[in-house]
Amino acid sequence: MSPSSEKMTVVLHVGRHKTGTTTIQSVFKTNIMHFREHGLLYPKCLPACHSGFFLKAFGEAAKHPVHGRFGLSQAQIRADAQEMLKNIRKEVRHFDGDKILFSGEDAGTCLLVPHLERLKKTMRDICGEEPNYRILYFTRDPVSRAESGLQQLIKANGMTEEDARGFQIEGGGKRYKEIYETYAKVFGDEAIEFYSYEVARAHSDGLIGYFLGVLGLSIDGVRNLETRTNTSISGEVLKFLSWLYEGPRVSPAGARLLQNRGTRAPITDRDRRVLFSLTGEKATFFSTDQRKQVWDAVADDMAFLKQRFDIEYAPPSGNTHTTDRLFGQTFKENLEAALPDLNVELRAAFEDFMKNHDHTAADT
């Protein structure tokens, strides 16, 4: 950072999951040099998502499902953290702007007060003085977020529909009030900013334009705005994956964010790419009563959002049917063409699934 520069502002974008975070991170990673020229540093030395950085450098990375899955030792985690911090310091020394942005949604759910105090101390050391802080957090309608979260847990975490639904009905993780209070204890009430994902999506320049506006930046000259990441997959494939994961449990039932069952057949990353590309219908996973359960679990949190940030969500109304128009002729034709690209055991499993389960035919 140049000696003549203004006091640095460190912006922490820490969630929530399923509020376009991956898309935002992708755009900032793609446009690193553009934003640097406009006074904002998005660290080049880090991957697009900074969750791993937050957890390794300040949190308890070894306890996180992702790091546990890769079997990282404490020594490896500490070494990775030191390397990342060294490279960030180097970038900041050669940066003439006044804003640094870090974005990682796991920081909202996994970091506690002692971790945030460590983060704050480190940022003061990196910046050479106590910087200003802005904590950005996006909210989402609890029912639509539960639907999206359930599908993501099947798609990315190897969970069954049953297990994922149970997690979402309980509220889907930490509450907004708890996250707000945790960050306010360390950074002060005035640093915490909550925004509505729905309002951001409806903005004339879309989610990215809204996010840039929050940062005081223009959308002009920003590339790859239309790129969507972490896209949804068909309901038919989600139903199949849920069935595929109904093997014996391999971790405690309470460890819901881990892959907690074995699979009926092996599935590779290549197989997933083939399945995720299949065109199909959108599935609804919550009944009317379950949607109400989701709302009831977080009703007090919704009241907090309204009172503190004037962000308001309405409880679900009307009837919802979980029987969708799935497994129609179009999907079956796409599946038939894709089956030869799957491994032999998985192909047999999908054929067995289609033969032995009742499906609502969309095109009949």
pLDDT confidence of residue 159: 86
Q: HEC profile for 266-287?
A: CCCHHHHHHHHCCCCCCCCCCC
Where residue 257 falls among pLDDT bands split at 50, 70, 90?
Answer: very low
The phi and psi torsions of 9 (rounded to 5 degrees) equal -115, 125
Report angle CA 99, 100, 105 to the nearest 5 degrees: 130
* Residue 228 or residue 357, greater confidence: 357
- Write down the pTM of the prediction: 0.88
Average confidence (pLDDT) over 39-57: 96
pLDDT at residue 363 is higher than 50: no
Model confidence over 66-118: pLDDT tens digits?
A: 555 556 788 888 999 999 999 999 999 999 999 999 999 999 999 999 999 99
Q: Which of 364, 360, 342 is nearest to 266 (CA)?
A: 342
pLDDT at residue 3 is higher than 90: no
Q: Which of 124, 131, 122, 109 is nearest to 55 (CA)?
A: 109
* Residue 285 or residue 249, greater confidence: 285
Q: How far apart are CA 40 and CA 101, in angstroms?
A: 7
| 288 contacts 273 by C-beta, under 8 angstroms | no
pLDDT at residue 153 is higher than 80: yes
pLDDT at residue 357 is higher than 80: no
Residue 321 identity (one-letter amino acid): H
Cα dihedral: 56, 60, 63, 65 (round 10): -40
Q: What is the DSSP letter of 246?
A: -
pLDDT confidence of residue 261: 65
Q: Which of 218-227, 254-263, 278-287 has the highest mean pLDDT?
A: 278-287
* Residue 102 or residue 166, greater confidence: 102
Q: What is the DSSP letter of 261?
A: B
What number of other Cβ atoms are within 10 A of residue 67's Cβ? Answer: 20
Average confidence (pLDDT) over 287-291: 92
